[in-house]
Structure 1
Amino acid sequence: MRKSLFALPAIVVAAGLALAGCTTVSSESSAPNGEGVDASQPLAGKTIGVAVVGTQHFWDREAFQGAVDEVEKLGGTVLTTDGNRDNTLHAQNHDIFLAQNVDAVITILGDASVDPKLQQLHDAGIPVFGVDHASEWAVNNAQSDNEVGGTALGKITGDALGGEGSIAVFNAFGSSLSFCGERYDAWKNELATNYPNIKLIEPELAEQFANAPDDARQQTLALLEKYPVGTIQDIHVACWDQPAIGVVQAIEDSGRTDVKVTAFDAGPDTLEIMSEPGSPFVGNIAQLPRKIATISADNVGKYFLGEEVEKVSYVDTIPVAGPDEAKKVSKELGYTQ
């Protein structure tokens, strides 16, 4: 069962959308001992808040629905909020969970502005679990193995360029979102270590969350005017791949066949672009957002069973190089059904 708070105007409630190492529990308050709890329904009788930064993007929708479905499978009632891709609103939405005195919170994405709210929940004895949101106030954060994924993408990029060339980078969020920084740093380190003849163009470009494809398209058109044929070989989007849609459009609109595109996320829309013959989009990393959020909800269940919960739960990523792999991964992930 899912509860909603439609009466609260500051909150957009997302209800019913179709959308590695091991440490002890980080919360200062002790986890329940699990006595008398049904192991198959550890969340029975409990209300779990699920806060998502937005549901406009494929990754966000999949993670949100994965968390909701698994909480309900484990017997819990879900109270959901949607920040509409506004980090301030997303942070404020956590006040509802505090006011409603929920039993636990799963928070999906968001920047550092969310952390003071997570501290308030922690101090009130409400355990918090992150989905791509690492925080000292969270019992656990479930996420992709971004270092492995970034390293794999660096190899894809280096091989696609034959080990030589110049790359322009969209990197607006590497300093504000830890998982973005992990991806970018690993990608850049792989290039520096094994492809020393590849250079990164400075300054970096800053994409926007809002209207990301169109924003990136306009910036790329200007970039291609500045860098004629032979002076730029790749445009890389460091954190996600929605801007890459606009990058590809700009390259094709400009009639350029000398510039490749690489990015990180590999949802159904971008894998479809990669699958097209002759597409400049040659490298991506597929994530499993539904699995990540499902694991987060499972960790909530483990917590209430009194079991040890790891500080970080890593989920593997899938490297995608070229059209054939894009088609294969799309099929494996069910995107072509």
Structure 2
Amino acid sequence: MRYVDAFNHFFPEGIWSRILEIPGTGADIGKRMRGIPCIYDLDERFRVMDQFEDYKQVLSLGMPPLETLAGPETTPELARIANDGLAELVDKWPDRFVGYLASLPMNAPDEAAAEAERVLGSGSACGLQVHSNINGAPLDEPRFFGVFEAAARHGRPVMLHPARTASFPDYSTEDRSEYEIWWTFGWPYETSVAMARLVFSQMMDRLPDLKVLAHHLGAMVPYFEGRVGPGWDQLGNRTSDRNLGELLGKLKKRPIEYFKDFYADTAVFGSRPATICGLNFYGVDKVLFASDSPFDPEKGPGYIRETIAILESLDLPSGDLEKICHGNAEKLFGLTPGR
């Protein structure tokens, strides 16, 4: 089987060095990431990849989002350095890296739209990586529309990655999230909220060609199908200070049908039940193989190996397995089949 890993993370040398120079933030990132050589050391990345036969990657930067690293006067430069570095890796090692997802300076929305146009219009990037909130702001704010518009116009996907830190408290009486709840439960919540905002803001009606992939197999949505479906069919019944029911009449279809329009990936940290749940919700035409490497306990190969094993254990028809493992990625990203 051929595998195209649609969502995994790497810092090219140029942006890695630049980030480490940023006072405070750079030191914090370096402290954590230096313990995961596969995310910045190309030789280590190759060593991990060589453990798997006919395996290739679509690259994207790791966390945190660029807009959290610096102000809008600096992030456009960071985005160009990052994207040009990823493009260079794809050009130099096409047998390993079949494409990359561009990062954008989302705290500078006009520059973000321009950078999206630059990398998508030139055919350099095969998609965009956008995070679930922009320094706390929702993605459906009008100032971010140009980014989604560019993706839709060029027929390339927006890959939605969660962004939440310990500064998001779990209770209103506290000032931070405890026990890394912000990550374990907070990231799936973040992704699900961002998906809902794209749906109910009617962005998906305004941009019918927009394709969005929700990282980690659609987050909470598949498991909460009953709430997303029959629950949101009753939108407004639980709200007395606004007439939300009017929105149902403005949407072109049921809310759950929009959620099924999202794409999803298999990056669920080696959980077979979650994989089955997500596949049942989205179907084999909307799910892409992805590992989230190198954030497994082995710092590289673990989630790749476990995800492959789970997919092979599901006894899917060979045609369906081919779609998930490489066909859907080739189609969504506009890749040459077999590259």
User: Which structure: greater strand fraction?
Assistant: 1
With the length of structure 2 as denominator, give the TM-score of the two structures: 0.32
Q: Relative contact order (C-alpha < 8 Å, sep 6+): which is higher?
A: 1
With the length of structure 1 as denominator, give the TM-score of the two structures: 0.32
Q: Which structure is larger by alpha-carbon Rg, 1 or 2?
A: 1
